[in-house]
Amino acid sequence: MFSEEVELYIEDFKDKLEKVLDGLNNEYGQIKAGRANPRILDRVLVDYYGQKTPLNQMSTISIADARMLTVSLWDISQMKNVTKAIQEANLGLTPSDDGRVIRLVFPALTEDRRRELSKDVSRITENFKVTCRNERRDVLDVFKKMKKDGEISEDEYTGIEKTVQNILDKYMVEIEKMETAKVKDIMEL
């Protein structure tokens, strides 16, 4: 349908939007919804023999029940460092350990906190939508330059513009579905 160069730019645009979806999914994983979610610990860095090491690379993190995570360290001597790192990460969780396993209990969310988290989800989602629109603008700028340089015609540009918009619309619908699912997850008791 389009030239090979145009197709490459469109594929690159799709790849960038896929990365935006992955990033959004990652952000949603960091939001506590009152349930035990091991991904909340993804950003916890522990001072492990002078190196900042991700907690998930030095332990096994598992879900004990709906509201509790357990962290089993591979090197028990690091228990104090891990407990300190979890506290410093400001996750709103208080670690407790029995000398072998660290337990993190997720408190039940109040209705106000659920609404606040839902607003955070909406804010995060809007930021990712803006990123998608910026990607659209960037790829269309490339095609406008190609049109100006005579590499593509006005009709081809119009077709490309519609194709790019259709792709963006598809991803926006996916983002909205993700947002709806996350808000529903947060609002469930």
Per-residue pLDDT, averaged over 113-128, amounts to 90
What pLDDT is stored for residue 34 in this prediction? 65
E strand map for 10-100: 45-48, 51-54, 59-65, 68-73, 95-97
Read off the pLDDT band of 2 (50, 70, 90). Answer: low
Provide the token pair at 69.
């995570």
What pLDDT is stored for residue 189 in this prediction? 57
DSSP secondary structure string for all residues of 93-139:
--EEE-SSEEEEEPPPPPHHHHHHHHHHHHHHHHHHHHHHHHHHHHH
Model pLDDT for residues 47-105, shown as the tens digit of each residue = 888 888 888 888 888 888 877 888 888 988 888 888 888 888 877 778 888 888 888 88
Tell me the C-alpha distance between 90 and 80, whole Å. 16
Q: Decide if pLDDT at 35 tops 90.
A: no
Q: Decide if pLDDT at 19 tops 90.
A: yes
Dihedral over alpha carbons 71, 72, 76, 81 (to 10 degrees): -20
Does the model's pTM come out above 0.75?
Answer: no
Edge to edge, the sheet with strand 101-105 lists: 59-65, 68-73, 101-105, 95-97
Cβ–Cβ < 8 Å for 82, 52: no
What pLDDT is stored for residue 82 in this prediction? 85
Which residues, 6 or more positions from 150, have their beta carbon under 8 angstroms from its beta carbon?
none
Write b or e for each residue in 137-169: b if 16 or more Cβ atoms lie within 10 A of its Cβ, otherwise e.
eebbeebeebbeeeebeeebbeebbebbeebbe
- List the domains of the chain with CATH numbers: 4-30+110-187 (1.10.132.20), 38-105 (3.30.1360.40)
